[in-house]
Amino acid sequence: MDFMQLVLGGLSGVLVGFTLGLVGGGGSILAVPLMVYVVGVNNPHIAIGTSALAVAANAAMNLANHARRGNVRWDCAAVFAAAGVIGAYGGSTLGKAIDGQKLLFLFALLMLVVGALMLRGRGEGGKTDVRLDRTTGPRLAGLGGLAGALSGFFGIGGGFLIVPGLIAATRMPMLLAIGSSLVAVTAFGLTTALNYGRSGLIDWTLAGVFIGGGLVGGLIGASVATRLAQSRGTLNTIFASLVFVVTLYMLYQSFMAM
């Protein structure tokens, strides 16, 4: 990493943190393409491992804020995360074994799904008194394992998968699902990062500046989101459009590399 790459890494972290603070789940999907196409990380596996660590750190910081506000259902989140960690380990192990360019191509296809999900409205209904029982437990474990596997395979936070998974399993309202999802995002990211790190596939310096930039960007994004709360649908549409543009560029680069 030269100095300019580190600067670009910090600015990329600001952008990812800003989008996370502004529109919530899905913002971290930009981390890998930014590391590859903006920062210039030549090895896609290093980009994935480094972004997984950065996403986990940013999720942990946001988790602390939601926990203070009582937005985390720890028992449900723990079951979902525990099952997901197993999936994340398996997914990240498989991801390391796949050719980097093919992995980027599959990542681009996943981004199409993320963009489509961002265009869907988010309802605010649900049961605030949800609890872990014999009905919700198996659902949480099954959906958690699936979300963890995809998160580990692509090195993403997976909030766009985890939030609807928690809602489907427990019928908790959106706010509680977002807060609770950060337990799993942190756990999945750390699992993936440790798996990649033991193979030497993390750039620790880049991860540090990316995390620092993400902290700054997250504070700015959260502040702007509060002021533009009534325009959340428009913000999601803008972000989804950005995801689609990045996806088309990734698909073009993947085809050119084949």
- What's the whole-number average pLDDT of the chain? 84
- pLDDT for the residue 25: 59
- pLDDT for the residue 138: 93
Whole-number percent of the chain with pLDDT over 70: 88
Whole-number percent of the chain with pLDDT over 90: 36
More confident residue, 2 or 7: 7
Of the pLDDT bands very low, low, confident and very high (cuts 50, 70, 90), residue 26 is: low
- pLDDT for the residue 241: 80
Chain segment 56-115, per-residue pLDDT in tens: 888 888 888 788 888 889 999 999 999 999 999 999 999 898 887 788 888 888 888 877
For residue 49, pLDDT beyond 90 = yes
Average pLDDT, integer, range 236-248: 77
Q: Which domain holds residue 40?
A: 3-257
- pLDDT for the residue 231: 64
Average pLDDT, integer, range 121-130: 60
- pLDDT for the residue 258: 63
For residue 182, pLDDT beyond 80 = yes
Total structural domains in the chain?
1
Q: List, as one string, the DSSP characters of the chain.
A: --HHHHHHHHHHHHHHHHHHHHH-TTGGGGHHHHIIIII--S-HHHHHHHHHHHHHHHHHHHHHHHHHTT---HHHHHHHHHHHHHHHHHHHHHHHTS-HHHHHHHHHHHHHHHHHHHTS-------TT----TTHHHHHHHHHHHHHHHHHHHT---HHHHHHHHHHHH---HHHHHHHHHHHHHHHHHHHHHHHHTTT---HHHHHHHHHHHHHHHHHHHHHHHHTGGGHHHHHHHHHHHHHHHHHHHHHHHHHH-
Chain segment 197-234, per-residue pLDDT in tens: 999 999 999 999 999 998 898 888 777 766 765 665 67
